[in-house]
Every structure is written in structure tokens, then in C-alpha cells.
Structure 1
């Protein structure tokens, strides 16, 4: 059953309760990213699959800052990036070309995707060694990241096949000289993965700045990842983290719920 939703100067939108919840979660995610300093002017993007629908997704309106994104002004698009929800906003083509290929070919494995240009993650993507096993968070991801050589702005569909090939069976793809793409089955899982990756990169940049990094042996990395998989279940795959940050942004500005 569809629900008619209207807010402020935004056009009325008709959607299911499931889509409205996805809109709320995605709008919250944009505000959390902005609060954490992960936004990049009007660029970069987070997209999520619309629950219960085939090949439809939600993404930010091109031209708005992350702190202007709300549940009702998110743009509903198909896998080709066409506006199918009647939004007056356009979508950044470079913002969805790579996402579209992942969404289309990886299914629920890539239900939620983000791409960022944070200083720390771009620095690690631009380092010839990539993410090194020199800190707690970096050990989370050893052997679980794909790398893709820089080909320029990601607006050409033919690059998609190479992106998926280089991702392999991982859920993080470091675009060399560019920035990371992080994905998960849920927006909560994607968020907590992005949070840990950001911390890993920040610490690596600081460590390399001092010189003489201390690598963690592979056998210790293996034990770390084994124990981490046990602990991860306690946090509901990022659910606790995401809800905590939603409470934080609600205290600052709850207009994302509009």
C-alpha cells in the first residue's frame, strides 16, 4: 500500500512504507557523512536499493550539499540512472555510473554503496602499497579489498566490467589515485565498514608520517579477523553504530526526516 508523503517545498511523493524507511535511512546517512567530514561539496554519493522493487535506487540530488539532503528530496532512479520518481532534481552521471554496474551485477550484496573522497582514504588509494597491516583497523581489511587502476572520471559504462572484476568477492574497492567504493547488504553495514576504513586510513597516514611503520604479521592478522567476525555479531552489522549516529544528528538538526 502506497503512502502519500509531502514536505516543505518538495513535490509530493508516493511510496511504500519500506521505501520511506529506506529514504529516512539514506537521508540520515548523508547527514552523518557530512557531520563526520566525509562530504565533498556537492559531489560523491551514497545509493541504496529500493526495497521490494527491481532495479530502482535512491541517490542524492545533484547540486545539493549533504546537509540539504532529506528523505523526500532523494532522487529515485533506475539502473541506467533515469529519473523514475518524478523528482525535479538531476543526478550526477559520474556519481551513478560505477554504482549502477555494482547494483546491477552484484544484487543484494551491493544493496547499499558509498563512494567518498576523504583526504585519508584518497591518500591511501594514492599510496603504492595501498592499505598496510600496520594498525588495528587496517588488520580488519587485509585480503578483503580489491584495487582498480585509475582510468579517469568514471562516466564510461565499459569501465564497469573491470570494476566488478577487480572487486572480486570483496566489498571494498580502492580506486587507485581516486578513492574507495564501499558496499554492503545494508546501509548500516556499509556505514560501519566505511567508518572503520576511514579510521584505518587516518592512522596509516599518521603512522607513515612518522616513518618506520610496524607491520602486523599475517598469522596475527588471521587471528584478529577470526575474532572480529565473532564480535561483529554483537553490533548487529553496524545497526548499533548507525542508530547512535542518527541520535547525534537528530540532536543537531532533524530536518533530514522531512
Structure 2
């Protein structure tokens, strides 16, 4: 760790960002979106440098606090923090941060969204539930499953497949949800899974789906985008509920 890295890592702004990232991870476990000790949430430092905050290797999301968050460079090398980082953690995240220019990158194998990646459509139908409509025009689909992301090339392929979208469904794999703010990105992650859950439940009835007009779905998406205060209030509520370990 350089003196500069240490100073940055312990600055008030980054301590707060570390706290927010830890909260998002604990909330994801609370909401059933985690999978063992796998998957990662990462946030780019706001100074524009190629440095990121990410969850450490080996800790369950339910136990992660601000002190457990690690700072890494674009290659995944640890710059600051008391834990190690999974070597492959940044293969997807560095590419999405760098190529897709996303500040927050949340990657999960959450069950209902991942279930939809196993279907022919590969993704959520954004003309069904009201919750799904908030994602209308914001989703990309990577239809090419290429095995485990074990090198930078696979991460770069995924990042290019996003084509500027906030959300990408990865065929036979999982999802990535991105945003400029962690509270907004987490809100999207949570409501994406809820929308996917409703679609799976509806499909299980065997009754044909009843989508709305795409123009209406687009209007609802715009309406939801203008209500981001709800996202911020939700994140504050989660902090009150889950606290800081």
C-alpha cells in the first residue's frame, strides 16, 4: 500500500463509500440475492483513477462491514484492506468499469433472474409487470455463454455486449446491474429480482402472459426514473434495519 492509497482508503468520503458497499452486500444476502461466498459488488473511486472498492475473498456477504472492504487496481491487485481478493474478481468488473464506463457494478447469480437466463428469451420481459417496466429499454442480453470468466478477454466481451445498457442478462450464468450511485444500483438489483420472480411465477401457472403495449412500458420506465428519491429512502431504511456489524 502506498501512502497515497492509504490516505485515500481512510479518507471520510471513501470510508462512507466502503460503508455503503458493505451495506449493499449485507442487504443482498438479507434479500436472498447472494450465493455462498461467490460474486462481487464493486464501486469505482470517484476520483477517476483506475481503483475500485470490492468485497473480499472468503467472507459471507452477511458478515461484511466497512472494515472488510478492499481497494484494488484494475488488475485486481490489492492496494488497501485487511483481506485478500479472489484473483478472478476483477475479470468482469474491471472491464465493465473501464469499457462500459459504469461506476457501480453488481454481479449476482440471484435465483429468479438467473432462471430467466436459462430460457429461450434469456431475459426479463419488460412489458409484463409494472416492476419490469422500469427496466424497459435498459436491458442487454449476452446470449453467448462462454464458460467461467477466467481472463480479461471474457470480461471485455461481456462489457462490449452491454452496449451501454444498465442491466445485462448473461446466458446460463447470472446478471450484472450497474449504476452511477450505489443506492440507485442496489434498488435496481432488488426490483429486478422481484420482477423476474413475478414472471417466473406467472409462467408457472401455464396461463398465457398478457403484456402491455411497448409504448406504455417505455412511459412507465421514464416515470420510474424520475422517482429516485424512493431508491435513496430504501437504502436508508436498509441501513436502519441492518446496521453496521
Q: Higher mean Cα deviation, 225-234 or 190-199?
A: 225-234
Q: Is the partner of 1:234 in helix, strand or coil? A: coil
Q: Deviations over 1:156-194 (max 9, x none)?
A: 211233212211121111000010001001101111111
Secondary structure of the 2:79 match is: coil
| Aligned-partner Cα distance in 2 for 1:71–1:114 | 17
Q: In the TM superposition, what whole-angstrom CA distance separates every residue of 1:51-101 from its partner, at most 9, and x where no partner exists? A: 22501111111000012211111110001101011x342212333210110
Query: Structure 1 length as normaliser, TM-score?
Result: 0.85
- Structure 2 unaligned residues grouped into runs of 5+: 1-5
Q: For residue 118 of structure 2, what is the aligned residue in structure 1?
A: 126
Consecutive unaligned residues in structure 1, runs of 5 or more? 1-10
Structure 2 CA distance for partners of 1:249 and 1:12, relative to 1, 3 Å = farther
Once the two structures are superposed, the pairs formed by residues 51-200 of structure 1 within 5 Å of their partners are: 51-85=46-80, 87-107=81-101, 110-129=102-121, 130-132=123-125, 133-148=127-142, 149-200=144-195
* Aligned 8 A contact 2:131 2:194 in 1: yes
Between 1:142-151 and 1:55-64, the stretch displaced more is 142-151
Quickly say closer, same or farther: Cα 1:227–1:201, change in 2 above 3 A: closer
- Deviation (angstroms), 1:13: 9.1
Separation (CA, whole Å) in 1 of partners of 2:65 and 2:55: 9
Task: Give the Cα separation in 2 of the matches to 1:147 and 1:14.
Answer: 35
- TM-score (norm. length: structure 2): 0.89
Q: Deviations over 1:91-135 (max 9, x none)?
A: 12333210110111233xx11111111211110111111222332
Instruction: Kindly state the Cα deviation for residue 144 of structure 1 after the two structures are TM-superposed.
Output: 2.3
CA distance 1:47–1:55, change in 2 (3 Å)? same
Residue matched to 1:208:
203
